[in-house]
Amino acid sequence: MLLGLAYRLLGTSAEAEDVVQETYLIWSAANHDEILKPEAWLTTVCTRKALDQLKSAQKKRENYVGMWLPEPLHTTTQSTPEDHVELSESLTMAFLMVMERLAPKERAAFLLREVFSASYEEVAEILEVTPASCRKLVSRAKANVQQKSQRFVAPPEKQRTMVSVFQSALETGETTELSKLLAADVALISDGGGKVNAIPEPLLGVEQVLGFIHKAISPAARSGKAWVEELNSCLSLVTIDGTGIMTTFTFGYNNSMKVNAIYAQRNPDKLAAVH
């Protein structure tokens, strides 16, 4: 749970792992006889450390070159039990991007309460606020999530179709079939981190997105290979060239099961875990 919580808060595996490692170092030095609820104690320390890290990360992101996307995360392909649906949805790129728009404590309160099912009293203690303030944090976060997010995990067959058609478009440059799977308001977002070429602003609408795929992405991808991975609870396409992974393409879906977001992660620092 700790690594999953830290990743959802921070959006990068490396930072999440650092926070969890620091949490267990503090645990190893603590007097365990005085800790009545170890799991709650660990969650508290991990959350507070992640929030400290998040404040530092947000300052760095102010100077980030281009658009910022979360680091892709390997997840296991499986039929998701009903009680784990929220956990699965909360790992998608679309969800993590919505989390980015929340204030740090709102983000933590929402995740602890709505995703990990902690009580308001438990969340309040972790965040060092009153239960009433905690309820307000969760309420504001829920309102923002509902207002700014159309995030749905598409059925596996829909995902397989999308990835297959998208891969075909990259290999051939032909986008007619792909156009049928995209929402009218589809956005293409690319993160190069200032280290590789990436679009500086989102491309919006079917015409712009398809045009860029045809003129730029497809020619670049044809010199390499591609394969399918599950990243962030969604089937995704990974492209490589002679030097390694070029891009991971992850997709967001609306309630009509059309793709309303294409997330192209190109920053090599964030692609190391995909190897």
Characterise 66 by phi-psi region: left (phi > 0), alpha (psi -120 to 50), beta (else). left
- Report which of 13, 40, 45, 15 is spatially closest to residue 27, judged by C-alpha positions: 45
Question: Of 32 and 187, which is predicted with more confidence?
Answer: 187
Question: Of 78 and 260, which is predicted with more confidence?
Answer: 260
Whether residue 235 has pLDDT greater than 90: yes
Give me the residues paired with residue 74 across strands: 231
Position 258 scores a pLDDT of 94
Encoded tokens for 26: 């503090």
Taking residues 68-78, report their average pLDDT. Answer: 81
Position 78 scores a pLDDT of 45
- Is 72 in contact with 250 (CB distance < 8 Å)? yes
Give the other-Cβ count within 10 Å of 153's Cβ: 20
Whether residue 268 has pLDDT greater than 60: yes
What share of the chain in percent tops pLDDT 90? Answer: 72
Distance separating alpha carbons of residues 43 and 167, to the nearest angstrom? 41
Lowest mean pLDDT among 19-23, 40-44, 148-152, 171-175: 148-152
Q: What pTM did the predictor assign?
A: 0.89
pLDDT, one tens digit per residue, over 122-168 is 999 999 999 999 999 999 999 888 876 566 788 999 999 999 999 99
Position 77 scores a pLDDT of 46
85 band by pLDDT with thresholds 50, 70 and 90: low
Look at strands 259-265 and 203-204 and give their pairing. Answer: unpaired
Question: Of 234 and 76, which is predicted with more confidence?
Answer: 234
Position 169 scores a pLDDT of 96
Position 250 scores a pLDDT of 96
- Is 169 in contact with 215 (CB distance < 8 Å)? no
- Distance of alpha carbon 28 from its chain centroid, rounded? 31
Position 57 scores a pLDDT of 80
pLDDT, one tens digit per residue, over 90-129 is 889 999 999 988 999 999 999 999 999 999 999 999 999 9
Position 244 scores a pLDDT of 87
Position 125 scores a pLDDT of 95
Please report the sign of the dihedral spanned by the C-alpha atoms of residue 77, residue 193, residue 50, residue 110. Answer: negative
What share of the chain in percent tops pLDDT 70? Answer: 94
Position 180 scores a pLDDT of 97
